[in-house]
A and B are shown apart, each in its own frame.
Chain A
Amino acid sequence: MDRPIRVIVAKPGLDGHDRGAKVVARALRDAGMEVIYTGLRQTPEQIVETAIQEDADCVAMSILSGAHNHLFPKVVRLLKEKGADDILVVGGGVIPEDDIPGLIEAGIAAIFTPGTPTSVTIDFIKSNIKRS
């Protein structure tokens, strides 16, 4: 049976703007994925626990507060500690160009900045999840 891809869409940190995350969640849904939406102000620990309990293929996070250099790598690190580094991690939001190489280095597979068509994100997730 063709199983749906399961994606956690999460908002780490303190900013309260989830319009972008909701647009992405809906686009992923329309692409046939099961989207587990966590809501605002999630800690990295909560996101990682959610990803494990939901047996997710991918964690997609959005940050507009500027805390991405701290929070994105922390999620990657915690997943690794829990032996769950087969989960793909992607990020989006207002991320300065200069910060992107460092985030990729830290294990975030891709960063999607404002203006990225949702189809790009969908295709990236589909072709990069680590489990068949």
Chain B
Amino acid sequence: MDIRAGLQSGDKRACARLISMVENEDEQAIGILKELYGLTGKARVIGITGPPGAGKSTVTDKLAKLLRQQGKKVGIVAVDPTSPFTGGAILGDRVRMTDLSTDPGVFIRSMGTRGALGGLSKAAHGAVKVLDIFGMDYIFIETVGVGQSEVDIVRLADTVIMVAVPGLGDDIQAIKAGIMEIGDVFAVNKSDRDGAERTATELEMMLDFNIRSQYRPPVINIIAKDNKDVDKLLEAVEKHYVYLVNSGELSQRKKNSIKNEIIDIFKYAMVKAIEEKSQSSSFIEQLISDTVDKRLDPYTAAAKLVEEFRSR
């Protein structure tokens, strides 16, 4: 299969295969991404995050359908947790997106976290690039159901939708640091349930204290399963994008995100290099056994390792 040609002619198999290769850290995939990197950066990237069962997949499904009505092509990356014990995973987000699977303008890919802890998989960045090259106008990334601090999505998305639901705890939960700080748009889903107004009010109160920018994230009550007010949510997402462009924050975010990506790739390469070396290097062996025998401490051992790498 010629993946480059397939990607550019809209062959979904080529797109799917390249995403797998990225996930499996195939050297060839990196080569293709290097070559086609110039084609990235055209898609709008929207993160969907929130606690388990908040309705992230259903919200994604409904937003995607609205965008399809406008003729936009939509890519979806849906991440679910990988078992830390067996490496297996049940990826079940497609259950809520059944009718999208045969839409020629939609590409959905499920991913396991494969050990990553920030709510995404390590390959999520790569998958977004592939879908961008594949010509998707909008790319949704649905995180795993998050708790309080899985905030990696903010580094990948232009706009983060935080999906909340009524009845998940008192207002102190909302003022803790972490995921509540990363929402650009808040959706209170299942708003036909008791406490929806209160949840919205608590979010608004939390946002009253947020002074990090002139932009104030809106809070929108929706009922995703009935498609109620999902259009308002999409409108809010579009408004946030206009703000990003006009304020110059978009280029700042993109710059930060690229910086983070380069550092991540660098770190990963360093760790790999050290791991490979430690198999053969008597220097690292020595550091380890010295630390075991308390002749060294881990801080000094690590500092010696840094020095050793620097001196090359």
Q: B-contacting residues of A (Cβ < 8 Å)?
A: 1, 3-4, 6, 25-26, 28-39, 41-43, 45-46, 49-50, 52-55, 82-84
Contact = CB atoms under 8 A, between A and B. Distances in A.
Nearest to B88: A29
A3 to B, nearest CB: 4
Given A29-B86, A55-B16, A83-B13, A34 B98 contact: no
Given A3-B24, A36-B94, A39-B98, A53 B16 contact: yes
B297 interface: no
Given A38-B95, A49-B102, A54-B110, A28 B13 contact: no
Contact of A34 (B16, B88, B102): B88
Contacts of B91: 34-37
A29 B95 CA distance: 17
A38 B98 contact: yes
A25 B92 CA distance: 10
Given A4-B112, A38-B98, A45-B102, A52 B16 contact: yes
B12 A52 contact: yes
Interface of B: 12-13, 15-17, 19-20, 23-25, 82-83, 86-92, 94-95, 98, 101-102, 107-110, 112, 114
Given A4-B88, A46-B101, A53-B107, 5 more contacts: A26-B90, A30-B86, A36-B91, A49-B12, A55-B13
Contacts of A42: 98
A36 B111 CA distance: 9
Nearest to A27: B88
Could you say which of B15, B88, B110 has the most chain A C-beta atoms within 10 Å of its C-beta? B88
A85 B94 CA distance: 22
Given A29-B89, A32-B87, A46-B102, A55 B19 contact: yes
Nearest to A51: B16
A38 B94 contact: yes
Contacts of A32: 86-88
A53 B92 contact: no
A49 B108 CA distance: 10
A34 B19 CA distance: 15
Contacts of B110: 34, 36, 54
B16 A54 contact: yes
Contacts of A28: 88
B101 A31 contact: no
29 contacts: A3-B24, A4-B88, A4-B112, A25-B90, A26-B90, A28-B88, A29-B86, A29-B88, A31-B88, A34-B88, A34-B89, A34-B91, A34-B110, A35-B88, A36-B110, A37-B91, A37-B95, A38-B95, A38-B101, A39-B95, A52-B12, A52-B13, A52-B16, A53-B15, A53-B16, A53-B101, A53-B109, A55-B13, A83-B13
B199 to A, nearest CB: 28
Nearest to A25: B90
Nearest to A50: B101
Contacts of B112: 4, 34
A20 to B, nearest CB: 15
For the complex of A and B, 3 pairs with smallest distance between CB atoms:
A39-B95, A29-B88, A55-B16
Contacts of A30: 83, 86, 88
A43 B20 CA distance: 25
A49 to B, nearest CB: 5
Given A36-B94, A36-B110, A31 B16 contact: no
B126 to A, nearest CB: 14
A97 to B, nearest CB: 31
Given A49-B102, A53-B101, A84 B13 contact: yes
A39 B88 CA distance: 18
Nearest to A6: B20
B95 A35 contact: no
A84 B12 CA distance: 11
A37 B13 CA distance: 19
Contacts of B20: 3, 6, 55
Contacts of A25: 90
